[in-house]
Structure formats: structure tokens, C-alpha cells
Amino acid sequence: MPNQEPMIKVQDVRFRYDPEQPKYAVDGVSLDIRRGEFVAVLGANGCGKSTLAKHFNAILLPEAGTVLVEGMDTRNEDHLYDVRQKVGMVFQNPDNQIVATIVEEDVAFAPENLGVPPEEIRTRIDEAMKLAGIYEKREAAPYKLSGGQKQRVAIAGVIAMRPDCLVMDESTAMLDPHGRAQVMKTIRQLRAAGITIVSITHYMEEAAQADRVLVMSRGRIVMEGTPEEVFSQTERLHGYHLDVPQAAELRDELVKAGIPMPENVITPDACAEELYRPPSPKGEGGRGPAPGRMRGELAEVSRLWEIAARRPSSVGGRSRRQLPPWGKPL
């Protein structure tokens, strides 16, 4: 459960890459990231989400406003080392973060450069590799690993520095579905260990697993709430050139077809649960269809799922095709 105390506090931040240009990449953003929270940041390309993320560990500094990391102003050079110890970043291409020829040597690179005693380095890298789910590959050469495995090596290298917050800047964008699933499993393990997660992502199914979702457009936060609150506003998201998770698309199609579904259905499991919820003994109060209608409605669901599966669930029109939540079409 996230702590209500903010770990990162952003106050009216503005930033331009070119001070001579009038357009701000980040334009008056204020937000709090609480300890232990998993926050997903969505937005079309060029909306400012990655620029904002780079303010969290002082890669970029605000032109106006302040960013506080556990009370430390990122503009204060005396705090730079401590800020970057508190907030680690994992970027899109893991090859840009891997520097050694053996996995465990790469994970040890940062602690060694920080002057951590050798006996503690061994403890740290073992803990980091186990937490990232890459311990079995500790003696492997990174170039022989899959994309998802490489990204988990990059994550292990960052968490070996024991940050309190991990910022994932589109770190699954170059991965196939299996690789993305591997990284999301690691994120869930990091959350269980109490690490704060900020994920900049194009993938709606990933964002649906967060505690809170932020939507950015033209350098500003335009939507904020739980995944259920944000992804229930399909038309508004479409207005920002974003889609919703595939299960939410199916939810909308089911409602159009006359099958009642609550707005908070945004995952396949929740969708399947609603569809299979049995009626009450008296035939009232249950949301699931009556026995005589079950097969007809499920046939309709399969047809609608096929429609939803042809639509992109991420920015940029990436295709996705998945089975319905019960495993195979009828």
C-alpha cells in the first residue's frame, strides 16, 4: 500500500529544450509521487512524458518551478549524488546501459564505481539479480540474452545501487510480448519489495496494472486517477490520440450490444469474471447472463473480441491480437 508521504514532489515545473522557442516541453506540471506507489504516465509522442521523467533524478533541471526528491531540490548541486542514489532510471534500449561482458560484472559496475566494499557488492548484486529475475543468467554474456533478459540486467544494475524509486522510461518499447511480460513480472517483484515505480509507457495493458495513471498532452497533465477511472473515459482518451486496454474496448462493445458491464472492467480477468458471474438463486442481482442466454452471449463476446483485437492498444498503432479471456474463441 503506497505511503501517503510524497517521495517526489513536482511544483509548477516548466522546461524548454531551446530557451529561444516559446513552446515548453513541460508546461506548468505539479504532482506528487508517493512512496511505494506504481505510477504509469501515458501520452502521445512528443507530449513531454519522458522529459518530465528525466527531471525526477536531475538528468534535466527545471527552467521554472521545483522538483524535490525526499525534500532535496534537484537544482542544488550538493544534492545531485544523493538524488541519483534515491532515483534510478532504466531507458528504452538496454544495450545502452550494459557495459560489461558478463551479467554479474555488469550489475556490479555501478556499486564498484560508488566505492562500495567488495563484500557488500557481492551481497548487493546477488540480491539485485534475484529481485530482477536474472540470477540464473549471472555468468552469461549479455549479448546472448533476449531483449527482455537484457532489460532485466539493466534493471538489476540500477537496483544494485539500492534506489528508493525506479523510473522506467519506455523500457518495454523495444521488447516483444514475452519480453514485456518478463519486465512486468520484475516490476511486480520490485513493488512487493517496497520500491516506488514510475513507468513511462505506450502500452495500455501495462498502465492498467498501476496504482495511478497520468495522461499528458502538450506538456501538461490532462487526466489523472486510478486505471479504472482513467480507462472508463474512452472517448476522452481517444481525443488525446490514446487507446484503452483491449479488455476495456471489449467492455464498450459489450455494452453497445446490450450486455451490461461495469465501467471499471479494464482487464481480461475482470471481464471474464463479470461474464461468468452466476445469477442469484431467484434470478436477480447477478450480472452474468441467464443459462439459456449464455451460449448466445458468449458467441457475441467472441465476435466482439475479434473486433477489439484488431485495434491497437497503444500509441502509434502497434498491432495486437490476443485470445478472449477464456482462452479460445467459440
pLDDT at 113: 86
What are the CA-CA distances from residue 313 to residues 38, 161, 267, 330 (Å)? 20, 34, 12, 23
Greater pLDDT, 187 or 279: 187
Which value, in Å, is the radius of gyration of the alpha carbons in the chain? 22
Nearest-angstrom CA–CA distance, 50 and 43: 10
Taking each helix axis from N to C end, the angle separating 268-276 and 246-256, rounded to the nearest 10 degrees, works out to 30
- All three cell numbers of 257: 450490444
Confidence of residue 278 (pLDDT cuts 50, 70, 90): low
Mean pLDDT is lowest, of 95-109, 199-213, 302-316, for 302-316
pLDDT band at residue 27 using 50, 70 and 90 as cut-offs: very high
CA distance 237 to 250: 16
* Per-residue pLDDT band at 39 (split at 50, 70, 90): very high
- pLDDT at res. 288: 47
Task: Summarize pLDDT for 239-257 with one digit per residue, the tens.
Answer: 999 988 888 888 888 888 8
Residues 6+ apart with CB under 8 A from 57: 69, 74, 83, 84, 86, 87, 88, 89, 167
Q: Which residue has the higher pLDDT, 330 or 158?
A: 158
- The answer to whether 74 and 61 are in contact (CB under 8 A) is yes
pLDDT at 272: 80
Q: Report CA-CA distances (Å) from 201 to 3, 247, 275.
A: 23, 18, 29
In the chain, the percentage of residues whose pLDDT exceeds 90 is 51
pLDDT at position 303 is: 60
Domain ranges of the chain: 6-234, 246-309
> What's the average model confidence in pLDDT over 251-265?
85
| Model pLDDT for residues 42-68, shown as the tens digit of each residue | 999 999 999 999 999 999 999 999 999
- What's the whole-number average pLDDT of the chain? 84
Look up the pTM and report it.
0.80
pLDDT of res. 279: 55
Provide mean pLDDT across the span 77-86.
92
Domain 6-234 fold is Rossmann fold (3.40.50)
